Structure 1
Amino acid sequence: MAIFPPLVNETSFTGTAVSEPEPVETSGANYYSTTFGTPGLPYISTLAPAEPSTSIPSSNEIVQAFTFSPASYATPSPTTPQPSSTLLTLIPSHEPLAQPANFTHAGYRAVAYYGNWDIYNRNYQPQHIPASKLTHLLYSIKQLQLLKASNRNLKVLLSIGGWTYTNTNRAMDTPTSSTHGIQRFAASCVQLIRNYGFDGVDIDWEYPSTTEQGSAFLALLQEIRRQMDDYANTLVYGDDFGHEMKPSFLLSIAAPAGETNYRNMPLREISRVTDFVNLMTYDYAGSWDNVTGHASNLYASAENPLSTPYNTASVLAAYYAAGVPPAKLNLGMPLYGRSFTNTQGLGLPYNGIGIGSWEAGVYDFKDLPLAGAQEFYDAEAGATYSYHNGSGMLVSYDTVPMALRKVVDLAQQRLGGAMWWEISGDRMDEGSIVSNVSRLRLRVIVEMSQ
């Protein structure tokens, strides 16, 4: 039987909403939202890959709480910094998690972003995208349309916005400042759908800076929805049974994890007009901070609070309290790591951020862990990272086990799906996060449908 990477016993979400730091440029204007669903081979980078399973295990075997056991860990030398967390192991707990909900429902999503720079700067071509593992993808080039043609269930959405255009350049301010501007923006979205065959649009405004802009964002989404529906009504056709049919175009947003940003947005009303909301629950720590920290942790750490300035639990709690249905939310996860150099460990000062894969301080998941580094799990924070004793480099990122842990969490929380930023950072072998998560999801679907 294939070994599934370890997950952690469930802990209730606690904590309070917090403000969001200013992120370093990792997003952009044209990116793609994807959702996946086919098998891949579970693998942990510090262990040998498991053999493929020849049978489908029961849901209790799959959706089960695994624990990171404190036994048999490699211990750092007393003369070197000693991260407080433990190395990953494969000792399962015997306490099953609650059954996940709606895994068989068509609305269950797994979402990832694909950047236009991936093609030219990173040589990550559309054919490299694991389309059979996805349900949604967004981009405006012919190759992606061909990808959709060979993967009929894949939804291709155009995503508009990103950090550079909407925050640095404030490109959303003018078109949303008047009714006429909102109508023109929406009409452009529909025209792109008409011309290129997109299944919808995703709006990434980072971020409405006032409640007035939050209301304008809602008005924009409502107008896009209205115009998309009007266009859909022109495409009514009859099926073989005499029923009237028409397409349904999708509308989504990238949503902030910081209180200073989401408090400006009418979240409940936005959730009513959108099909799903992609929570950007990452970039909690980075080069803008004075100390190292987790970049995408689930919980706050009482033992080391400086290492968790933000946490996903409080973000979800805030969105629930605002009236957003869990099924509308996609939990965001990074396919990259934030790095810190010359540090003694988590929550401590550092000096430098490393060269990164493509930009300073940011390493693609496929390049991690770096040579000589060990992976650790912070049980209290619900996060993984690597540390190199020699160089003092710490990198915060989701490992495969951590990604599977989060998927179990989102199932228990009754969330709508998962989202990754961004797809070119994933591995293209048995260590792929997307493939491993897809394998877990597929097996649960098969088991629950029997």
Structure 2
Amino acid sequence: MALVTNALLFLMASVGMSACYQNAVYFPSWAVYKRDYHPQDLPAAEISHVLYAFMDVLPSGQVYTKDSYSDLERRYPTDSWTESGENAYGCVKQLFNLKKSNRGLKTLLSIGGWTQSANFPAVASTDAGRSTFARSSVVLMRDWGFDGIDIDWEYPDDAEESENLALLLAAVRDELDAYASQHAPGYRFLLTIASSAGKAHYENLDLKRISGLVDVFYLMGYDYSGPFASHAAHQANLYANAAKSTTTPFSTDAAIAAYLEAGVPAAQIVLGMPLFGRAFQNTAGLGEPFCGVGRGSWDDGSMEDSGAWDYKALPRPGAEVMYDDTAVASFSYDAQARTLISYDTPRTLKTKASYVRDKGLGGAMFWEASGDRTDGDSLITTSREFGASTSAFHICNVNAHCDAPTSISNWGRA
């Protein structure tokens, strides 16, 4: 088997293809509530990596769970109510069970996110903060049976914070390697980051240096437009549309070109794509001004409307799906309601998946799992089918670490 795998790796490298095609998906801990979406609902046969979002960070650097009920306490029908000891249930146990049933599936513990990045700058600025962060994150990874750590710092603002991010990554990498050498010789626990496709953010980073510390950049190729914008624009376009620049304020291709130019290997870049749409109300159409975004799939009036719709709920009744072949983007428009929603479709996904393959990138990532459809128009399935050969997917989808020396029954309270 090793000879066959090595031969495939050599062949794919010789033709410029990434040897491993990830089909990764974020699973947020809050999906179990209003969304009623659980680890057991993940399409395990179609994915290679699950990123469990999000752990938070204390000012001390301590990484911890903000939702112990979803993470550790929720009982599922297969869980016991009579076990002795302090046992882990919830999503942590279900993800571990999913991995045991799908031995190639890898799980990563994601830390931070848009609403939980405030403490990163201070934590990363000191040896003590970095050490506490590295140690506590690896303890959680160990106790909960994960295969690695994903850091989602949104975003380092300047050269100093970029330097501190690199130092933080180095500390985590050292901690992961030290743990592996003692408990899992020969196994490489993964270290990844979620990174921006926005020039103002990625230009702050020493991308070449970071590429030597991480296994993967999960490039967030979405949220290019939204409530913050001035015009109804594409939120996940592959290319710029120079003929109407207000439709494409950002471009995935431009971001990837910049990463490659900075020295990041193509195979380290995994292209993130949305399983949601961004709405724009009171607009005459694409590239035109708008006023308001309205309620999305899960807005309930308790917070400002996001205008974010699950992909599975699109298009909305009365809307027509349209395509911008220049930008490689799709959207729906309801002329009567004057509402436009920008989102990916199987048509755009197929082109993006081919782009990933042709560029030799490391695969695809999706935010987030509960938004996908379960029928023939699933974007996760489309990515796996069109993004890589079966061999590339399976080369990536091997050797998950399922034999944690600390039992899954340990709560992992660092």
TM-score, shorter chain, exceeding 0.5: yes
Give the whole-Å Cα distance in 2 for the aligned partners of 1:103 and 1:192: 37
SS of alignment partner, residue 394 of structure 1? strand
More helix by percentage:
2
Distance 1:390 1:355, change over 3 A: same
Tell me the TM-score normalised to structure 1 length: 0.72
Alpha-carbon RMSD across the aligned residues, in angstroms, is 2.2
SS of alignment partner, residue 115 of structure 2? helix
| Corresponding letter in the other structure for 2:307 | G
Distance 1:268 1:424, change over 3 A: same
Distance 1:179 1:422, change over 3 A: same
- Residue of structure 2 aligned with 1:290, choices 230, 236, 242: 230
What pairs up with 1:44-443 in 2 under 5 angstroms?
107-139=20-52, 141-166=92-117, 170-236=118-184, 245-359=185-299, 360-441=306-387
| Corresponding letter in the other structure for 2:123 | P
Offset at residue 378 of structure 1 (A): 0.6
Is the Cα–Cα contact under 8 Å of residues 235 and 246 in structure 1 kept in the other structure? no
Give the whole-Å Cα distance in 1 for the aligned partners of 2:287 and 2:387: 34
Offset at residue 380 of structure 1 (A): 1.7
What number of residue pairs does the alignment pair up? Answer: 340
Is the Cα–Cα contact under 8 Å of residues 290 and 350 in structure 1 kept in the other structure? yes
| Corresponding letter in the other structure for 1:426 | D
Is the Cα–Cα contact under 8 Å of residues 102 and 108 in structure 1 kept in the other structure? no
SS of alignment partner, residue 100 of structure 2? helix
| Corresponding letter in the other structure for 1:164 | T
SS of alignment partner, residue 270 of structure 2? strand
The percentage of counterpart residues that share the same residue type is 43
Q: Which residues of structure 2 form unaligned runs of 5+?
A: 1-11, 53-90, 300-305, 396-414
Distance 1:315 1:443, change over 3 A: closer
| Corresponding letter in the other structure for 1:281 | G
Offset at residue 406 of structure 1 (A): 0.1
Distance 1:442 1:417, change over 3 A: closer
Distance 1:103 1:430, change over 3 A: farther
Q: Which residue of 2 aligns with 1:36?
A: none
Q: Which residue of 1 aligns with 2:405?
A: none
Give the whole-Å Cα distance in 2 for the aligned partners of 1:103 and 1:111: 21
SS of alignment partner, residue 174 of structure 1? helix
Offset at residue 354 of structure 1 (A): 2.5
| Corresponding letter in the other structure for 1:338 | R
Give the whole-Å Cα distance in 1 for the aligned partners of 2:30 and 2:16: 33
Offset at residue 351 of structure 1 (A): 2.1
Give the whole-Å Cα distance in 2 for the aligned partners of 1:102 and 1:147: 34
Which segment is superposed worse, 437-446 or 140-149?
437-446
| Corresponding letter in the other structure for 1:150 | S
Give the whole-Å Cα distance in 1 for the aligned partners of 2:134 and 2:154: 18
| Corresponding letter in the other structure for 2:245 | P
Offset at residue 101 of structure 1 (A): 8.2
Offset at residue 343 of structure 1 (A): 1.1
| Corresponding letter in the other structure for 1:235 | H
Is the Cα–Cα contact under 8 Å of residues 293 and 309 in structure 1 kept in the other structure? yes
Give the whole-Å Cα distance in 2 for the aligned partners of 1:209 and 1:350: 29
Offset at residue 253 of structure 1 (A): 0.2
Is the Cα–Cα contact under 8 Å of residues 236 and 274 in structure 2 kept in the other structure? yes
Is the Cα–Cα contact under 8 Å of residues 100 and 412 in structure 1 kept in the other structure? no
Deviations 1:19-71, CA, capped at 9 Å, x for gaps: xxxxxxxxxxxxxxxxxxxxxxxxxxxxxxxxxxxxxxxxxxxxxxxxxxxxx
Offset at residue 442 of structure 1 (A): 6.3
Offset at residue 103 of structure 1 (A): 10
Is the Cα–Cα contact under 8 Å of residues 156 and 198 in structure 1 kept in the other structure? yes
Distance 1:350 1:254, change over 3 A: same
Distance 1:443 1:322, change over 3 A: closer
| Misfit runs of 4+, over 2 Å | 99-107, 439-446
